[in-house]
């Protein structure tokens, strides 16, 4: 959520920043509502003060035996009470409209974010690793997974419908190995606390990180009690700091979780229907940090490095791309995407998105810290990133490490998690 004080003092500046990401703020409407809110609040305060004075005068009149004056002032007090109820109701309506607007406004992009309407304006920062060279036409992960008995799309459709895939045998084991490898790396070498969160969340929990109300159509919801299946572990991990005040010494807080994620992909029908690129259910290792505001930017760059380390250890070529204003996520101030090379598609595809959300999520959640020196509590900065998407790492390994005989070489970092296995073949 944006700072209401910023909107009150500089709505034109906020509107200009939001326009860079394609959001049009009706400044005139905002000013009208703000002026109405202030007028109503002032009137309420005036009426409350007058009623207090009249109550005092009634007591004095009764004490003096002046019943006529006491009754007259009591009648005025009742008139004030009626008017106060009406003004309060109007005030609450105005506040509700302003609050609803605030909840639906996206975060302000940082000044450094490249301006653009969509992903075609994203800016490549760097490329890491050499693209594999094959003496044959490389296959995509669907063909490889089918020939090796690792992926079973037909079973997924039979069990649950489109955009579901069953992993079989070494396919399931490879997925498990990837998750264990990533968790060990982040918990042991990068200093994250491992968390096993609930896979269901309340609506207010998703409001805290920005999935609601804007992206409700992309979520799966239980029928009777209204729980949501989490679209990412970012939701429960970030909300661990909800409505709390941490000590400055407790920052940064770093959490990592390996969970299934559930998304309708409501805005993506017709895209990536083949294979495991875009699924309704997928496993992901998620990294979340809560940091001191002075450390937001360096923490974001550090978190990106933690995600990159996964791809480097797996020997997968990738590139880092900064998202333009039109491609930024709702809660993000800046975002780096890591895109892994897929020979079967002859293209880079996203495998991790690393975002710095500034104080946007913290304000929605009430996540604060107590600064040293007696200062009042301040909002933390939140950061999140995939560390990384397990399904996409699996398919990237199948495509990048495929051999002419149809087998797949296991990256060195994963071999201890697969009992020392060096190759996956049909034999």
Q: 201, 231 in Cβ contact below 8 A?
A: no
Active site residue 350: yes
3-state secondary structure 263-285: CCCCCCCCCCCCCCCCCCEEEEE
Does residue 262 sit in the same domain as residue 337? yes
The CATH number given to whatever domain includes residue 83 is: 1.10.287.40
Which residue is catalytic, options 50, 315, 350, 425?
A: 350
Domain that holds residue 52: 26-104
- Is 112 part of any domain? no
In a domain, 8, yes or no: no
150 and 292 housed in the same domain: yes
The residue among 57, 76, 104 that closes a domain is 104
Together in a domain, 196 and 269: yes
pLDDT in tens, 96-118: 999 999 999 999 999 999 999 99
- Domain-embedded: residue 110: no
Among candidate residues 56, 81, 104, the one where a domain is terminated: 104
- Give domain status of residue 12, yes or no: no
Give the number of residues written for the chain: 427
Let me know: does 379 contact 293? Beta carbons within 8 Å.
yes
| Confidence at residue 30, expressed as pLDDT on a 0 to 100 scale | 93
Q: Is the domain of 71 the same as that of 131? A: no
Is 357 found in the same domain as 299?
yes
147 and 263 in a single domain? The answer is yes
Q: How many CB atoms lie within 10 A of CB 267?
A: 9
Of 104, 138, 155, the residue at which a domain comes to its end is: 104
Does residue 212 sit in the same domain as residue 176? yes
Active site residue 278: yes
Give the model's pLDDT for residue 368: 97
Per-residue pLDDT tens digits for 233-249? 999 999 999 999 999 99
Q: Tell me: the pLDDT tens digits for 315-326?
A: 999 999 999 999
The one catalytic residue among 163, 278, 334, 363 = 278
32 inside domain: yes
> What is the model's pLDDT at position 269?
55
Task: State the total domains in the chain.
Answer: 2
17 occurs within a structural domain? no
Euclidean distance between CA atoms 239 and 197, whole angstroms: 11
Residues 100 and 127 in one domain: no
Q: Is residue 10 part of a domain?
A: no
Structure tokens at 242: 């909800």
- Same-domain check for residues 73 and 136: no
Task: Output the pLDDT for position 270.
Answer: 58
Prediction pTM value: 0.92
Render pLDDT for 115-133 as a digit per residue (tens, 0 to 9).
999 999 999 999 999 999 9
Tell me the C-alpha distance between 367 and 240, whole Å.
9
Q: Do 239 and 370 fall within a single domain?
A: yes
202 noted as active-site residue: no
For the chain, list residues with pLDDT below 70.
58, 61, 67, 266-273, 373-374
Q: Are residues 100 and 135 in the same domain?
A: no
CATH number of domain containing 164:
3.30.930.10
> Residues of the chain with pLDDT > 90: what percent?
84
Do 68 and 126 fall into the same domain? Answer: no
**15 within domain boundaries:** no
Q: Which of 352, 353, 355, 386 is catalytic?
A: 353
The single residue of 20, 21, 263, 264 carrying the catalytic annotation is 263
Indicate if 364 belongs to the active site.
no
């Amino acid at each position: 959520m944006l700072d209401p004080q910023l909107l009150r003092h500089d709505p034109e500046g906020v509107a200009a920043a939001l326009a860079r990401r394609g959001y049009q703020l009706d400044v005139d409407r905002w000013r009208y509502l703000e002026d109405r809110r202030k007028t109503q609040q002032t009137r309420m305060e005036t009426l409350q003060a007058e009623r207090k004075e009249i109550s005092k005068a009634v007591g004095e009149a009764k004490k003096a035996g002046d019943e006529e004056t006491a009754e007259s002032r009591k009648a005025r007090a009742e008139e004030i009470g009626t008017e106060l109820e009406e003004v309060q109701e109007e005030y609450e309506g105005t506040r509700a409209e302003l609050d609803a607007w605030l909840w639906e406004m996206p975060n302000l992009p940082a000044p450094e974010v490249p301006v653009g309407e969509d992903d075609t304006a994203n800016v490549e920062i760097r490329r890491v690793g050499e693209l594999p060279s094959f003496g044959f036409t490389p296959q995509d992960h669907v063909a490889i997974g089918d020939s090796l008995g690792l992926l079973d799309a037909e079973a997924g459709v039979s069990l649950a419908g489109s955009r579901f895939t069953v992993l079989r045998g070494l396919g399931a084991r490879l997925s498990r190995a990837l998750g264990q490898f990533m968790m060990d790396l982040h918990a042991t070498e990068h200093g994250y606390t491992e968390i096993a969160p609930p896979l269901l969340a309340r609506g207010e929990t998703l409001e805290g990180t920005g999935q609601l109300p804007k992206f409700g159509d992309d979520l799966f919801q239980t029928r009777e009690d209204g729980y949501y299946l989490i679209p990412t572990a970012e939701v429960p991990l970030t909300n661990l700091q909800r409505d709390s005040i941490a000590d400055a010494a407790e920052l940064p807080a770093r959490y990592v979780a390996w969970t299934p994620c559930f998304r309708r992909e409501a805005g993506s029908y017709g895209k990536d229907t083949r294979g495991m690129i875009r699924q309704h259910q997928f496993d992901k290792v998620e990294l979340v940090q809560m940091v001191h505001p002075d450390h937001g930017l360096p923490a974001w760059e550090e978190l990106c490095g933690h995600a990159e380390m996964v791809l480097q250890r797996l020997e997968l070529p990738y590139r880092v791309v900064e998202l333009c204003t039109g491609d930024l996520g709702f809660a993000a101030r800046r975002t780096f995407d890591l895109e892994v090379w897929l020979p079967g598609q002859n293209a880079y595809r996203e495998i991790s998105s690393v975002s710095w959300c500034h104080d946007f999520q913290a304000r929605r959640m009430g996540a604060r810290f107590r600064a040293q020196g007696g200062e009042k509590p301040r909002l933390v900065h939140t950061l999140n990133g995939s560390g990384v998407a397990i399904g996409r790492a699996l398919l990237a390994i199948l495509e990048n490490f495929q051999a002419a005989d149809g087998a797949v070489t296991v990256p060195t970092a994963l071999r201890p998690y697969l009992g020392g296995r060096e190759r996956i073949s049909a034999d």
